[in-house]
Chain A
Amino acid sequence: MSTTEGRTRSGVYGFIGQRALKALLTVLAVLLFVFFGSRLTGDPISMMFPEGLTQQQHDALTHRYGLDRSMLDQFWVYLKNAATGDFGVSITENRPVTTVVFGAAAQTLKLGVWAFLLSSIAGIAIGIAASLKPEGRLSKTLMFLVCAGYSIPGFIVAILLVLIFGYYLQLLPSLGQGGPASYVLPVVALSARPAASVARYVQNSLVDVLAQQYIRTARAKGMGQRIVILKHAFRNALVPLVTVVGMLVIEIISGALFIEVVFSWPGVGKCLIDAVLDKDFPVLQFGVVMLSMVVIVVNLLVDLLYGVIDPRLRKGVAA
């Protein structure tokens, strides 16, 4: 999460404007990074044609792709193309990069949406359940599960699931896309770590909130433990929880990179990994830019959502 600045200048519009500007700058930074990174660390032409070229072919191609112009010129061309949606062509598939990546993204979205729902609901529920009676057996078991989900790498969860449910119990399919049953294992594998993250966050947040004075006041007013947690504590704990949404998106995207490969799911994760293995640079470049933008936009929305939840921010006071 970005470092919070001090006072906002003028209530709501200042708040939105400031955040949006920051997001825009970050997107620009990503583009710069991706673009100059590739130009500076190697010769894109040789990377595109690893089989080797004669000097003549190399020079011809360099000219054709405009790589003999200055960096700034190149960047400008890149931006212009980007504005019209032209990000180049995939080396391996000879299709426009945008088609390849967007197509894959749609597949990932199918998994991602389910994983998002599952992790948020399960995570919040587990987080609350573990806070109700911190010393109880249920709490301790849940905490252990959460620790496991958080620390075990995604691909291992995926492989274990495949072994147990796919092969031994023969319950669920484990390769590729198919009917609804083929969604189950990948979604569960994809949700494991995000759910654990959410649960940890909820729990920590609740513990902090429950130690506050106003909780004691609520108890002194005769409010029962359930009301206190669900009404008073939860809403206050929710304030930082909204950050978790941003976290979730990042974790699901990162997780997808590995889990899609295990399940051979034709999503953006597998697409990017294949691009790395095949050294298909245009695809990789666009994929990184696109995913980064998704993350940045989500974080922006999260920041804005804070303003709704915490009235202090709405009214222009630094929280």
Chain B
Amino acid sequence: MVETETQSPTPTAAATPGQAGPLLAIRDLEVGFRSGDDEFRAVNGMSLEVRPRETVAVVGESGCGKSLTALSIMGLLGPGTSLPDAFVRGSMRLATGDGSEHELVGMRSREYDRIRGSVLSMIFQEPMSALNPLFTVGEQVVEMLVRHEHMPRRQAWTRAEVLFEQVGIPEPRRRLKAYPFELSGGQKQRVMIAIAMSCNPRLLIADEPTTALDVTIQSQILYLLREIKESFETSVLFITHNLGIVAQFADRVAVMYRGAVVEFATVQEVFKAPRHPYTRMLLDSHPGESLRARAGDRLQAIPGTVPSITTDIDGCAFHPRCPYVMPLCRTTAPPERIDASGHTARCHLEVIPDAER
């Protein structure tokens, strides 16, 4: 049977109801790039939801569109950003906690500015380049507090010191005056976390926050994130390609392939009884201590490579690499099947043969 390595303290299965409705509901999201008259979609019909106080992981290989999804939730695409040719379509509804819901797609810049940092926040993969090199790290926290919470500067500096302590930065008061280049990668990521959490956001998006760090630091940061998410009671959308992290950290997991979610369920269910062939093959190919492979088993590689996003594929996006492919798969895109416990999968098969061990 599958053993997860650490106990996850948060409830599994259905997350705590506490608030009616999900915190973030993404439906049929399309994100792509225009070039002349062409457009190609890197995210094609993606649906996902995050409930309050829950951690949802998004896994997939490089190029499946997970980072773009994160950027589009934050509204960091389109004209006036570093990706001006990108477009976003579909629906993303965010509940901001005062009872109101906002549609993020097409939201005006000004409104987005109010939400970013205060309701939604994000930490990025490369802490090296994510901080402004000409300002002290303390200043970069303080400006958040001043802007969103309208705190007077003195108070903001004190609060920043507290935050630094919470994220585990030693000698926080001294560190406030430091410049980014004086800090190590791990410390910079801690600063990023402090910045992101400073205004108590409801949803923290973490885009592969540990990938660029040393292995030893990785687990420290993960541990920190787990503590933070509990003490701040925030939801987390965690993007990663590392299934081991998913096992330790998330409540539910969404598996992405070529721009769409192919499976979405609680971590236990996905690991124990995956419903999509791609998920199953991901698990089989992962040399995790805890996942599916038992000692002595052969690792299975997934045949083929992810086809480029510019080539179109008819029917199910995964069919060229799927070992269970049927004629139907080549012509018709599979529907989303949801079962009683909320486990969704996009596959024509009801059940994968030998899915459970």
Contacts and interface: CB of A to CB of B under 8 A. Distances in A.
Interface in B189-238: 192, 195
Contacts of A217: 124, 130-132, 192, 195
B76 A219 contact: yes
A9 interface: no
Nearest to B128: A213
A214 B129 contact: yes
A317 B133 contact: no
Contact of B114 (A213, A222, A309): A222
A169 interface: no
Interface in A276-319: 309-312, 315, 317
A215 interface: yes
A221 B132 CA distance: 12
By Cβ-Cβ distance, the 7 closest A-B pairs, closest first, are A222-B117, A222-B116, A213-B129, A214-B132, A221-B117, A217-B130, A220-B122
> Which one of A223, A227, A310, A317 has the highest number of Cβ atoms from chain B below 10 Å of its Cβ?
A223
A264 interface: no
A72 interface: no
A318 to B, nearest CB: 11
Interface string A219-248: 111111101000110011001000000000
Interface of A: 133, 135, 210-225, 227, 231-232, 235-236, 239, 309-312, 315, 317
A232 B122 contact: no
B306 interface: no
Nearest to A238: B134
Contacts of A213: 124, 126, 129-130
Contacts of A231: 143
A210 B181 CA distance: 20
Nearest to A212: B129
B126 A224 contact: no
Nearest to A218: B132
A49 B114 CA distance: 78
Interface string B94-128: 00000000000000011011111110011010100
Q: Describe A's contact surface by its main secondary structure.
A: helix
Contacts of A220: 74, 76, 116-117, 121-122, 124
A211 B82 CA distance: 6
A218 B132 CA distance: 8
Given A216-B81, A231-B143, 19 more contacts: A210-B82, A214-B129, A215-B82, A220-B116, A220-B121, A221-B117, A222-B148, A223-B113, A224-B109, A224-B110, A225-B113, A235-B135, A236-B132, A236-B134, A239-B134, A309-B134, A312-B181, A315-B179, A317-B181
A70 B195 CA distance: 71
7 contacts: A133-B80, A211-B82, A217-B130, A217-B195, A219-B81, A222-B117, A236-B132
Contacts of B148: 222
Given A211-B82, A311-B179, A232 B113 contact: no
Nearest to A222: B117
A315 B179 CA distance: 11
B147 interface: yes
B144 interface: yes
Contact of A221 (B81, B135, B179, B195): B195
A7 B262 CA distance: 52
A216 B117 contact: no
Given A222-B114, A222-B117, A223-B113, A216 B82 contact: yes
Given A219-B81, A220-B117, A222-B114, A235 B134 contact: yes
A103 to B, nearest CB: 44
A221 B82 contact: no
A199 to B, nearest CB: 21
Contacts of A235: 134-135
Interface residues on B, range: 35 or more
Contacts of B110: 224
Interface of B: 74, 76, 79-82, 109-110, 112-118, 121-122, 124, 126, 129-135, 143-144, 147-148, 179, 181-182, 192, 195
A223 B42 CA distance: 27
A225 B118 contact: no
A147 to B, nearest CB: 22
A221 B134 contact: no
Given A232-B132, A311-B134, A222 B124 contact: no
> Which one of B132, B143, B147, B192 has the highest number of Cβ atoms from chain A below 10 Å of its Cβ?
B132
> Which one of A133, A219, A309, A311 has the highest number of Cβ atoms from chain B below 10 Å of its Cβ?
A219
Contacts of A212: 129
B16 to A, nearest CB: 28
A225 B134 CA distance: 19
A219 B195 CA distance: 13
Given A235-B134, A311-B134, A317-B181, A219 B116 contact: yes
Given A216-B124, A312-B181, A317-B181, A223 B143 contact: yes
Contacts of A214: 129-133
Contacts of B143: 221, 223, 231
Contact of A310 (B80, B113, B134, B147): B134
Nearest to B195: A221
A227 B130 CA distance: 17
A298 to B, nearest CB: 24
Contacts of A216: 76, 81-82, 124, 130
> Which one of B115, B133, B179 has the highest number of Cβ atoms from chain A below 10 Å of its Cβ?
B133
B147 A222 contact: yes
Contacts of B76: 216, 219-220
A221 B144 contact: yes
B146 to A, nearest CB: 11
B347 to A, nearest CB: 35
A77 to B, nearest CB: 51
B264 to A, nearest CB: 25
A4 B121 CA distance: 39
Nearest to A233: B132
A225 to B, nearest CB: 7
A222 B199 CA distance: 11
